[in-house]
Amino acid sequence: MSRDAEERRGGGELQDPTLWMAALLSGLTCPLKGRRANPPPPLAGATMSHGWGYGPTNGPEKWGQDFPVANGARQSPINIVPGEAQYDSTLKPLKLKYDPSNSNGILNNGHSFQVDFVDDTDSSTLTGGPISGTYRLKQFHFHWGASDDRGSEHTVNGINFPCELHLVHWNTKYPSFGEAASQPDGLAVVGVFLKIGAANPRLQKVLDALDAIKTKGKQTTFPNFDPKTLLPGSLHYWTYDGSLTTPPLLESVTWIVLKEPISVSPAQMAKFRGLLFTGEGESPCCMEDNYRPPQPLKGRKVRASFK
């Protein structure tokens, strides 16, 4: 059975850890229609709910029913208050080394779209910053709103951005992404805010690929892309210990949120919103408002790499 067919069917176990995040991020209910799409395949060795989404009956406020860690001590995202973040002179500069040839494919997983990378060597890595060791790039994806006044998961002084980019990396001290994802130091995610402004030519190759993956389960090749081109000029960052922002909400993420946003035009944001949560042949439901709101800090410290 093809990967597409397996994901649509929603049966069997995903033993291949490279499909872990696709399984994790599938199985949405349309927040506008309140109608469930196909359930995701179960995650090997874990229990998955088939009904989580972003609607009133299955959205972030309800996730704790199936995933009690939703109310845990280190949940994400958070509201970052710059005046309360602690400057830490021991924080190192970020070192991001990405090989464009590792860019492999682009997928609509029914929750967002993600660009996947070959991660069997240390050719695309994150080092430095708040982390120890080497973390390999697994994929990047975005969260966005139905309008430009919301969409980011993290906020700054309570202010939302229309979109947020997440570059997901896993700690190579563990044998695979899937195993790293359950460890307290297993993942490192770099978050980048998108702010309405001039059209961003570096985003355009990604956005041009979206026409081929409009519906859930669609994927296509996406070769020779350097995600470093999506980063802002300054790599100043805030960092804190947090979690995945989608079920199963595992508390395994060192968050690195860049201070400087990148630009995106209104027309480019419209391209994000042209995707669908739903599969081909289903009643269309626009992919938008696919973000979790900020969670309580619960005594955690947010550190800053800059004064």
Active site residue 174: yes
Query: Which residues have C-beta within 8 Å of that of residue 70, sequence separation ≥ 6?
Result: 60, 63, 64, 247, 249
* Cβ(236)–Cβ(303) below 8 Å: no
Q: What is the token pair recorded at 222?
A: 């996406």
Q: Are 162 and 2 a contacting pair, CB within 8 Å?
A: no
Nearest alpha carbon to residue 95 among 194, 202, 225, 237: 237
Catalytic residue among 54, 143, 166, 174: 174
Joined together, the tokens standing for residue 20 give 């872990």
Q: Encoding tokens for residue 251?
A: 């508390």
Query: Which residue in the list 111, 141, 143, 166 is annotated as catalytic?
Result: 111
What are the residues whose beta carbons fall under 8 Å from the beta carbon of 31, sequence distance 6 or more? 53, 54, 55, 56, 59, 277, 285, 289
Residue 50 annotated to the active site: no
Could you give the residue numbers annotated as active site? 111, 174
